[in-house]
Structures are given as C-alpha cells and as structure tokens.
A and B are shown apart, each in its own frame.
Chain A
C-alpha cells in the first residue's frame, strides 16, 4: 500500500523529467544531433579516409559506438545536473521534499529521468550515424545493458554534482573540467593500443574507457579491455554513487538547512 503510493510518486518524477526533455527539445535533442553530425563529417568522412582502418574497421565505423556513448554520457549527466540544480535553486524541489516520498525514490526518479534523456539522445545519434555508416550489433544484450548502466552511472554523477553545487558555476565546472577530458581520452576516437606504454596504463585508470570499450564490444565485437571488468567497474560505480547520493539526500546536504 505504502509502496504503491511511493511508486506513483516515482513515476510522477520520471514523467515530469520526460516532459521536461520533450518540452525543451531544442536544447536537449538538437545540439547532440548537430555535434555528432559534425564529428561524423569531420572525423569520419574527411579525416577518417586518411586514417584508414582502426581495430580492423573503417574509422567511421570504429568511432560510431564511441560517439553514441559520448552523447549518452554527456546528456544523462547534463539532464540530471541541470534539472535537479534548478529545482533546488528555484525551490520547487520542495514540492517533493514535503511529500511522503522517500529519498530513495526521489534519487531513483531523477536518475531515471537522466537515463531516459541519455537513451533518447543515444537513439537520435544512432540514427545520425546510420546516414554515414552501416551499423551492426554483435551482441544486443551487451549493447543495451552497457548503455543503460552507463547512463545510470552518469545520471547519478550529475545528481551528486547538483546536490553539492551552490551556484551555477559549480554545475558547469565538473562537466568541462572533468567529464569532457575523461570522455575524450576514454577511447572514443582511438584504440589505446596506439598509445605508448605509460599513456596506456594511465588510460586504464579512466572508467569511461571501460564503458566505451564495452559498448564498442557490444556493437563491433572488439574491445581494448576485458568486458567483465567493465561490468564490474560500472556496477561498483552505480552502487557507490547511488549510496552516496542517498546518504547526502537523507542528511539533506544542500537541500535542507
């Protein structure tokens, strides 16, 4: 009974987040479509022809999974960080805080909203990619599970950022100073086997590398890393980030005085 009402609360958050993404589609769906088209044109068509093959695939084909993953990561993160922060900043988060809705469902609701946006944008970018290259999927279960889990992890990371942020600057710093470098260096555009030994080892410290490679494995069947290790890393991140978010939420960090 209690749980049923709480599920309704959770679904309300997801529906609200979904309609926010759709309402501001010009901000949420169009920019990734444009950026990714540019990537495909520049790196895929223009430069890619000179690169030749990478990992046994045409360069365009090789980077497609990486670019899809990159947009999933940025959009999941971006959705939760901006939606939660503005709800906190403009105080309408209070609508949820006063309701008999446990923090668990509030966290899960926002994160689900981020996953929905990540997957929607991932879908749009996949469609864009299909104009440039012939996509195929080697393992549908790996592809789907990795994209959903990764989206989950970065939605949580976005939530954490939003909870700790005090001003708008704070929600811009992490995406541009941490997320972007890690993503670009996370094997989206190249195989780390091209890197010198030290750089390879440094890259192995980057969790995004595992996610991108696992996803590429799902699509192309090739990977620089062991995909079970990728699953383990993603699950550890999911659980620990979820716990941290929940603890902060229960303590009311940044949301209750």
Chain B
C-alpha cells in the first residue's frame, strides 16, 4: 500500500504522449497529465478518444510512438519492471483464461508479480472475498456472468496490492447493486492510500467518485482540472419542474427562460448569475406549485457533451433528453 512520503509524489506523469498505430490511426496526439499520489482520477472521453490506448501504454500493452511515462517516478523506458510492479490494471475487454478456475487465475497473477504461493493463496482469498466471488472459486471463468467476470478482473488486479489501480470501464454491464458496492469498495481502498484512475461512460459515477478529471477527445486532453472546478465551468443548468396543476401555455417567469415539455412539466434554464430562490419566487408569483424537481442531465454529462460535441453540435440549447444517457448508449458496444 502507498506510504506518505515527505514530498508529495506523482503516481503518474505523462508528457507529450503520442501513438500512431500501424494502420496509420493517430490515437494520441500529445497527451499530458499528471495524477497525484492518493488521487481518484477520472479519464473520460467519447468512444475512440484514446483512453484505452493511454492505459495500454502505461501498462506496456501498447508501444508508445513518442513521449514519456513515469509511474511513481519510474520511467517506463528505463525502469519498466519497477513501474509495472506499482500498477494493477482492469482492462476494458475481458481477458480471462476461460478454462481456468477463479482461484488459479488470481493465484497465478500473484505469481507473475513474484508473490510466493503461500502468500498468494491468502491474498487471493482476500481479493475474491472482497469481490464476492469466494464461493465460486472452484468454478471456471467461463461459467461466470459478465458482471462477475469484471469483478474477477478487479480481484486479479488487486492481488499484489498495487499502489496505482487503473480501471478501464470496470462498471460496464454491472448491475446497480454491485456497482454501488464496487464504488464503496473503491472509495475505501482509495482512502487507504491506493491511487485510482478510472475510465467510465457513466458520468455520474465519475462525478461522485473522482477528485480530478481529464477529458480526452481525438487523442488530445481537452479538459484537465479538479472535478469541482470543471463543474463550475458549466454556465447554465437545466432543471425539470413537476407541477401540481397542468398549465396550457408557457408562464412568464421574468428573466428565467422556461419551456413547457409536458402539461405538468416545466424545463427551466438557470444561468450562473441566477438562483433557484429567484426562480421559485417567480413561480410562486405566477401561482405555480412545484411538487418535485430534478436535474435534466447530470452536470458532468452536460459539460462533457458540450465539450466533446461542440464541433458538430448544431442543435439548439434545449435538446431532447437522453441522447448521452449512459443507459441508452452502451459503452464499448461500438468500439
């Protein structure tokens, strides 16, 4: 587990990273970002942005074209083994030996990291229990459900207690209950000192878990900041207001822009210099009673959408809901 050094250390430092695949695709065009030790870091971006490529280079599954990568100060060009020893990785695509027993998969992974068998068995038990797979330990990987396979890959990545855990879409296809418990677990090991880098297409997940964010698009970092700073860049938010009585025309609410999306539902846009109090004052003055309210879209999602779709978004500000809803877009299905 990570120790706290006198000087804060960078868990990961990436400079001018480029990648051109053999088919000519420029997957990364000069990526720069750092992850501090102890951070919970989100690496976000649309399909094909270059997230998996970046992770592939960090974990030496992909050869970089140019640039520099350091893991806890170990350059992957000169101290590859030391760098690798710090990392645990959960890949996006399932890469389990389907005919191997769960316990063997985890124990062998420990062995590849140089952990003696006896200790490996103890660690394997701990990790499989944490991922609620211990009672399936004698089963072969093929007999697991999709979500279980993902949990098995997490158990495998944790077996050598890495200082840096990298998760490439760990919650894709995982049910709500397990996802919640996975979040709890990740928060816990992060609090205990493990630095975590997470990619996900569920932006509410990134918003609730991560403290720093980098958004990649077309092989470049287009946003890189603390989560709260990033969210502050959102100039306006849209709220859906549920009315007790239906209305037949858009009421006049002064400076507040509203739209009627259904007889019982108002869509209100609030800019940063306006306030909810002001909106409610106008609503009360108009004699409208609001029984419930929700954000139209997750805030990070809203921002993400604006950043990444800016170039080809000619729609009006108020769009039909759910375009970028993670429930509709299945991550990875198009990749």
Contacts and interface: CB of A to CB of B under 8 A. Distances in A.
B61 interface: yes
B112 interface: yes
A79 B81 CA distance: 28
Interface stretch (A6-14, A112-120, A123-131, A151-159): A6-14
Given A2-B81, A102-B81, A252-B63, A96 B95 contact: no
A95 B22 contact: no
B47 to A, nearest CB: 18
Contacts of A11: 111
A101 interface: yes
A5 interface: yes
Interface in B224-242: none
Q: Which of B91, B93, B95, B112 has the most CB of A within 10 A?
A: B112
Interface of A: 2, 4-6, 8-9, 11-13, 15-16, 19, 23, 87, 90-92, 94-102, 252, 256-257
Contacts of A98: 59-61, 84, 87, 89
27 contacts: A4-B114, A5-B113, A8-B114, A8-B115, A8-B116, A9-B111, A9-B112, A12-B108, A16-B108, A90-B95, A91-B91, A91-B93, A91-B95, A92-B100, A94-B61, A95-B108, A95-B112, A96-B112, A97-B60, A98-B61, A99-B112, A100-B80, A100-B81, A100-B84, A101-B112, A102-B81, A257-B56
B299 interface: no
A29 B116 CA distance: 30
A100 B162 CA distance: 12
Contacts of A101: 112-114
B21 interface: yes
Nearest to A16: B108
Interface string B111-147: 1111110000000000000000000000000000000
A98 B63 CA distance: 13
Interface residues of B, number: 34
Contacts of A102: 81
Given A95-B95, A257-B63, A100 B85 contact: yes
Interface string B88-101: 01010101111110
B167 to A, nearest CB: 13
The CB with the most chain B CB atoms within 10 A, among A15, A23, A90, A99, is that of: A99
Contacts of B112: 9, 12-13, 95-96, 99, 101
Enumerate the 7 nearest inter-chain pairs by beta-carbon distance, A residue then B residue, closest first: A5-B114, A12-B111, A99-B112, A91-B95, A100-B84, A100-B81, A92-B97
Nearest to B99: A23
Which one of B89, B96, B99, B113 has the highest number of Cβ atoms from chain A below 10 Å of its Cβ?
B113
A228 to B, nearest CB: 40
A74 B98 CA distance: 26
A19 B82 CA distance: 30
Nearest to A12: B111
A49 B96 CA distance: 53
B192 interface: no
B156 interface: yes
B62 interface: yes
A256 B62 contact: yes
Given A90-B97, A98-B60, A8 B111 contact: yes
Nearest to A9: B112
B109 interface: yes
Given A12-B108, A16-B108, A99-B84, A92 B114 contact: no
Nearest to B160: A99
B95 A257 contact: no
A90 B98 contact: yes
Contacts of B59: 98
A6 B111 CA distance: 9
Interface string B42-78: 0000000000000010011111000000000000000
B82 to A, nearest CB: 7
A6 B114 contact: yes
B115 A95 contact: no
B286 to A, nearest CB: 60
Contacts of A97: 60-61
